[in-house]
Amino acid sequence: MSMFNDDSYNDGVNAGKRIAVGCIVASLAILGILLLTLSSNKKNTRRDVNSNSTLPTVSAEEVPEEKPEYTAGKNTRTSDELNFWNMYDTDEEKVAISGNKSDIRKEKEEILKKISEDAAAKEKEEKESENRFNIKNEGEEPEYVAISRSISRNDLSEDGFSTDDRGRLTYSINGKPSSHTGIDVSKNNGDIDWAKVKADGIEFAMLKLGSRGYSTGNVLMDESFEKNLAGCSANGIDVGAYFFSQAVTREEAIEEANYCVAALAGKKIRYPVVFDSEAVANDTYRTESLSASALTDCAIAFCETVASYGYTPMIGGTKERLIKNMNPVMLQRYGVWLFDTDEKSDYPYRYAIRQYNNEGSVNGIESKVSLDICFISYSER
């Protein structure tokens, strides 16, 4: 006899059939959905291809070449090359970079050193320029000499000088005029109307008394001296006298001084009697090769002789003549008549009179005349 009856068996069979049928139906449904999806994608693709597109047509030549995909088996780098520490400088590169930095630092140091040296040189030059001056006239090649501490410096202030509309130089202290206006003349200036000269503001005149021939050595009086002396005296113009010296010995210098004293014949003049030492342009002259020591001795002999007769002695000359051809230390006991026509004189030592223009104009004198400025009131002595 069987454990199961026929009904139970039939029920199990029927259940299995139902499950199988359900699976088949579900599979068909899924398959239908997939077919519908594929059909829809194909229609969309055909529609996109057939529709008007704004995209440019790309030729085969313009299509970029596809880069090959990375394949692990094609890497040829070594382990050292793949070492991430290689992103930093190697020892050699570090040395090179360090060397470059060292060169840059060295170049910078050299530039800074050059700047410092230039600044020091400029400062030194400025200091040296304060302790030297040019003995040449403007327009000539400069020649600088050191300023001696053994010679009295002049105390003239550049701010005290002024020039009037006639080109005449004056000097003031605290706004008060303290200088005197003068001229120096010789026979070369012709006949002079001294009344007009006085009216034109001239206070003093340095008159050429005489000279020694620069080649012959003969002593001569200036042809206009006596007439000019009389004209100045008659018109209240203070007088000084100068002698163009070419003495080469003390004896000759004393002879020249005695000649001046005799020519003045006891006349009282307020301004100095001057030992005028000058170079002669474009010619040879007696004192051309005379040493500074010898010329200084001549100047001292002249001044001592003049002073012994009660006159005020003075040395006249250019900056170069006074400094280069004489010994200014030995002559500083005497006044100086400076011949310096530069716009501003840089002569550092004391001087009493300066000839500042040798082409001036003065009423009563038809020729060009030398203009002078005096810083001492000799008329009050």
Cβ proximity of 294 and 250 under 8 Å: no
**CB 317 within 8 Å of CB 276:** yes
Residues 6+ apart with CB under 8 A from 237: 194, 197, 198, 202, 203, 204, 205, 231
- Tell me what pLDDT residue 337 has: 98
Q: What residues are paired with 156 via a beta bridge?
A: none
* Residue 22: predicted pLDDT: 66
Are the C-beta atoms of residues 212 and 244 closer than 8 Å to each other? yes
Q: Which two tokens stand for residue 24?
A: 């088949």
CB 331 within 8 A of CB 315: yes
Give all domains of the chain, ordered by start, each with its CATH number: 156-380 (3.20.20.80)
Q: Name the residue type at position 335.
A: G
Q: What number of helices (H) and strands (E) belong to the chain? A: 8, 14
pLDDT, residue 9, reads: 45
* Residue ranges in the chain modelled with pLDDT below 70: 1-23, 25, 36-99, 123-129, 379-381
Q: Which residues contact 334 (CB under 8 A, 6 or more apart)?
A: 299, 303, 313, 314, 315
Q: Buried b vs exposed e over 115-132: b needs ≥16 C-beta within 10 Å?
A: eeeeeeeeeeeeeeeeee
Of 253, 209, 258, 210, the residue nearest 232 (C-alpha): 209
| pLDDT tens track for 199-230 | 999 999 999 999 999 999 999 999 999 999 99
Query: Cα angle at 57 between 56 and 59, to 5 degrees?
Result: 135
Residue 172, C-beta contacts closer than 8 angstroms, at least 6 positions apart: 160, 162, 178, 179
Task: Provide φ and ψ at 224, rounded to 5°.
Answer: -100, 0
Which phi and psi (to 5°) does residue 213 adopt? -60, 130
Residue 113: its pLDDT value, please?
Answer: 86
Phi, psi of 118 (to 5 degrees): -65, -40
Strand order from edge to edge, sheet including 169-173: 161-163, 169-173, 176-177
pLDDT of 107-130, one tens digit each?
Answer: 888 898 888 888 777 766 655 567
Q: What is the pLDDT of residues 163-199, one digit of tens each?
A: 999 999 999 999 999 999 999 999 999 999 999 999 9
Listing DSSP states for 65-95 in one string gives PPPPPP-GGG----TTTT-GGGGSPPHHHHH
Count Cβ atoms within 10 A of the Cβ of residue 151 and give its class: 0-12 exposed, 13-18 middle, 19 or more buried. middle
Pairwise CA distance, residues 353 & 140, whole Å:
23
pLDDT tens sequence across 353-364: 999 999 999 999
pLDDT for the residue 49: 42
* Dmax (CA) of the chain: 197
pLDDT at 4: 43
Q: pLDDT at position 267, please? A: 87
- Structure tokens that stand for 325 in this block: 């051809």
Per-residue CA distances from 224 to 19, 186, 207, 267 (Å): 164, 6, 9, 17
> Tokens 């139970």 — which residue?
8
Q: Are 104 and 111 in contact (CB under 8 A)?
A: no
Judge whether 247 and 279 are in contact, CB under 8 Å: no
